[in-house]
A = this chain, B = another copy of it.
Amino acid sequence: MKSWWVILFSLALGSAQAQQSEKQFIRQLFDSSLVQGQSWPMLEHLCKKIGHRLSGSPQAQQAVLYTRTQMLRLGFDSVWLQPVMVPVWVRGPKEKAYLLVSKRTSGGYIQQQKIPVEVLALGGSIATPPGGLQAQVIEVAGLEALKKMRPEEVQNKIVFLNEAFDPRHISTFESYGHCVANRAWGAKEAGAKGAAGVIVRSMTHRIDAFPHTGAMQYAEGGRKIPAAAISTLHAEQLSKLLKEKNEVELYLEMHCESRPDTISYNVVGQINGSSPQARIIAVGGHLDSWDVGEGAHDDGVGCVHSIEALRLLKANGYKAKNHLRAIMFMNEENGLRGAVEYARLADVNKEDHLAAIESDRGGFSPRAFNVEADSSVIAGLQPWVPLLSPYGINSIQAGASGADVGRLKGKSELLMGFVPDSQRYFDFHHANSDVLEAVNKRELELGSAAIAALLYLIDQR
């Protein structure tokens, strides 16, 4: 496999003429995306006509139908649905939360203060008991610190996991990677130790009043306690109150519930390749989102990138040798059921993937492509960098592809991930602020063109 890429690139490098025509066609793809692209109207539809699209919701179903219709309308050769059972979690009425602070005044009196805070139940959490939950808050630096605590320290308390993003990571995904275990496993750990509930500092650098939800999981058969994210602004405020030696209780009311699994779908569209040895070059994003905001950057953008990349190639008259496939994965956020099913069917149907690319890092200015492969394969891809660098893509580097196409590990020759600028991603991620207005039209269009160019370059080899 390694030598295959290396040999092909050595051949390609020899041909200055081929390089020139590649350069010109990539320019044409970018022009086309920036002048008459369809990225923006498609994202606008997903965000404004449909809205957020949690697995199992009516909106997720609308998004299945919309993207299916869209790919048919664009003349893809075939468009099909892959049925998959997905979990159904419903938030119910908006959460209520406030702090009850007992301050000792200079005169020795105790003053009670009630301070509203913004929280969002974490996806998968149970509700609070009828009448809400009220308990003393104990701040814990993070999951590792919690693991070391004795049960009596947290028993019947609400554990407040307040691990902040480390701002020193240049890629914000690294900061997220270091913190997200608090959200995923905080309830499991705190619950096992007898805590009454858990609140987790929102997964963002930004200090504001938007809580950021996301997936959490209980231990199989373990004790379940309500789990919520608190906005960074209120996490800071709460931490300050606790540091000032106040006794702080949190009142929390959440009405969420898990319901029986329901049927949903991956949506797959394909433009057939002309070669008798055609393999599959796939690109995907996930159609589901959290149930707040509009799922714009996460991951309406990835769905739009995928459909638009194929459309751009088709609209510019490109006849691919390989099958070009756009995949709208269902249920990335809270189960990955769509990705698992796609990979299973790829096996069953003996589908041969030359490449699978994921876009699930937002619709910002393109900067790089990640490759999940050993260094010799990545070295073989470097001749593409000068073809992409005029558009701001300066690196083809070792790195994760994505949660969905990652399921094709060992099944796809190449696994790649689109890497846009990461600075703003976690400002919006899983929050009410992840709306169309947070996306810049040109940045989105550059991403679609970058992915189209990558598909083209892979297909040309």
Tell me the A residues contacting B by CB distance below 8 Å: 30-31, 34-35, 167-168, 170, 172, 205-206, 365, 367, 389-392, 394-395, 421, 423-424, 427, 440-443, 446
Q: Is the CB of A421 within 8 A of B365?
A: yes
Q: Are B367 and A170 in contact (CB under 8 A)?
A: no
Nearest-Cβ distance from residue A333 to partner chain B, whole angstroms = 24
* List of B residues within 8 angstroms of A205 by Cβ: 441-442
**18 interchain pairs, CB-CB under 8 A:** A30-B170, A31-B168, A34-B168, A35-B167, A35-B168, A170-B391, A170-B392, A170-B446, A172-B442, A205-B441, A206-B441, A367-B392, A421-B421, A423-B440, A423-B442, A423-B443, A424-B440, A424-B443
* Closest beta carbon of chain B to A194's beta carbon, Å: 36
A390 CB contacts on chain B under 8 angstroms: 170
Tell me which residues across on chain B come within 8 A of A424, comparing CB atoms.
440, 443
Give CA–CA (A449, B342) in the complex, Å.
Answer: 44
Shortest distance from the beta carbon of A193 to any chain B beta carbon, whole Å = 32
Asked if A421 contacts B392 (CB within 8 A), the reply is: yes
- Apart from the given pairs A423-B440, A423-B442, A424-B440, 18 other A-B contacts in the complex at a CB distance below 8 Å: A35-B168, A167-B442, A170-B390, A170-B392, A172-B442, A205-B441, A206-B441, A365-B365, A365-B421, A367-B392, A392-B421, A394-B394, A394-B395, A421-B421, A423-B443, A423-B446, A424-B443, A427-B440
For the complex, give the distance between the alpha carbons of A299 and B395 in Å.
30
Q: Which residues of B contact A391 (CB under 8 A)?
A: 170
CB proximity of A391 to chain B, nearest CB, Å: 6
Which chain B residues lie closer than 8 Å to A206 at the CB level?
441
**Which of A30, A168, A172, A442: most chain B CB closer than 10 A?**
A442
State A206–B437 Cα separation when bound (angstroms): 12
CA of A248 to CA of B233, assembled, Å: 51
4 interchain residue pairs of minimum CB distance: A394-B394, A34-B167, A423-B442, A31-B168
How far is the CB of A379 from the nearest CB of chain B, in Å? 17
Chain B min CB distance to A366 (Å): 10
* B residues less than 8 Å from A365 (CB atoms): 365, 421, 423
In chain B, what residue has the closest Cβ to A449? B170
User: Chain B's nearest CB lies how many Å from the CB of A11?
Assistant: 28
